[in-house]
Amino acid sequence: MKQNFKKGGFSRFFIILCKIHERFLFLLMFHSLIVFNCFLGILFK
Residue 44: phi and psi, rounded to 5, are -105, 25
Residues whose CB is less than 8 angstroms from the CB of residue 34 and which lie 6 or more positions away in sequence, other chains included:
none
Q: What is the pLDDT of residues 7-20, one digit of tens each?
A: 677 788 888 888 98
Domain count, the chain: 1
- The dihedral through the CA atoms of 24, 30, 33, 37 has a sign that is negative
Show the domain range for 24: 1-45
Among the listed residues 27, 25, 6, the one whose alpha carbon sits nearest the alpha carbon of residue 17: 25
- Helix, strand, or coil here: 36? helix
Per the prediction, the chain carries an average pLDDT of 83
pTM score, whole prediction: 0.47
Distance CA 10, CA 26 (A): 24
